[in-house]
Amino acid sequence: MHGLPQAEPTNATIRPGAAARRSPGWRISRRVRIGLASLIGTFALWWLLTDITGVIGPHRFPAPAEFWAAFVQIAIDGYAGGTLITQAWYSTRLVIMGFLVAIATGVPLGLLMGVSHRAEALLNPAFLLVRPIPPLAWIPLAIVWLGLGDAAKILVIWFAAFVPSVINTWTGVRGVDRTLIAAARVHGAGELRLLWEVIIPGSLPMMFTGLRLSLQASWTTLVAAELVGAFFGLGRVLDAAYRDINPPMIAVAMLAVGVLGALTTRLVAVAERRLIPWRS
């Protein structure tokens, strides 16, 4: 039935967006069509450059078939000590643990420094020293202290996620509307109620910005830490594939890192929408 001219109200033909919104679901927008074409084109180019013409040799970047074979290999037989699911879960578990420890320490510290000028003044010197050191730079120290196991990874992720959660919580508290605080005070709210019902909800949006940044930093740092030295995990897979000069496996591990990073970021976004429904 598409292609048939339909009797549309005149205003719909004036505004093309309205017509598109009214169209049935299977008629996809221009943006999606071009996007799909672009992805398919990239895929075709990849195939053309590797399999068909061989411009990019197999020792540089894998052909689609090799990529698929590597994916099947790690998914079923495993690679570098575990299947894809085991390795991915291993890394995800570490990110979640480090991230939770960082939230549990960073958010209260940020609240304290935001609420009290005295606490801020007391803690700021130590914080200023730690803040400019990139999380990745903690990796060697963590290995000297705790070795190559889980504890060192969690410590490094904690460092990575701690600083953004402190800073954003702190900024969020300072950004709470002063009038709201004064109003709550006038109506007789005690300090604890003020904190729980005005300051924390008011700083939640900034806190979540911090959490999203923390999560990204956690993934980057974990991958780096596992590349420097680890027994399991996706970074370990990357490292092993690099040492074996196995480009298909490198590509599979990179894809897994990207997918997991995107999924966990989405998870934080969902939590954000649940917890802060008033911020659209």
Partner 1 sequence: MAFMTIADRAPHPRELMLLSVAGAVLFFGGWQLLAMSGAVSPQTLPSPIAVIGTAWQLAFEPFAGHTLLQHIVASLGRFAMGFGLAAAIGVPLGLAMGRFRLLDDIVSPIFEALRFIAPLAWVPFAALWFGTGIGGPVMVIFAGAFPPCLINAYRGAKLVEVRLVEAAQTLGAGGFRIMAEVLLPGALPSIVAGLRVSAGLAWQSLVGAELIVASAGIGYVMVQAQSNLAPAIVMAGMLSVGVIGLAIDVALRRAERLVKSRWGQA
Q: Of residues 156-195, which lie at the interface with partner 1 (CB under 8 A)?
A: 173, 176, 178, 181-182, 185, 191-192, 194-195
- What's the number of CA atoms in the CB half-sphere (13 Å) around residue 189? 16
Helix axes 84-115, 117-130, angle to 10 degrees: 140
Q: Is 124 in the site for partner 1 (CB under 8 A)?
A: yes
Q: What are phi and psi of 82, to 5 degrees?
A: 180, 165
What x-and-dash track marks residues 221-260 binding partner 1 by CB under 8 A? --xx--xx------x--xx-xx--x-x--xx-xxx-xxx-
Distance CA 16, CA 230 (A): 55
Q: Is 215 in the site for partner 1 (CB under 8 A)?
A: no
Choice from 19, 101, 141, 276 touching partner 1 (CB under 8 A): 141
Choice from 105, 200, 265, 276 touching partner 1 (CB under 8 A): 265
Smaller CB separation from partner 1, 103 or 225 = 225
Q: Is 97 in the site for partner 1 (CB under 8 A)?
A: no
Q: What is the 3-state secondary structure (H, E, C) of 226-252?
A: HHHCCCCCHHHHHHHHHHCCCHHHHHH
Choice from 52, 122, 267, 271 touching partner 1 (CB under 8 A): 122
230 contacts 240 by C-beta, under 8 angstroms: no
Name residues contacting partner 1, limited to 45-74 (CB under 8 A). Answer: 59-61
Amino acid at position 86, single letter: T
**What is the DSSP code (8-state) at residue 53?**
S
Distance CA 183, CA 171 (A): 21
What x-and-dash track marks residues 3-42 binding partner 1 by CB under 8 A? ---------------------------xx--xxxxxx--x
Minimum CB separation from partner 1 for residue 252, in Å? Answer: 11
Distance CA 178, CA 201 (A): 14
Q: Is 80 in the site for partner 1 (CB under 8 A)?
A: no
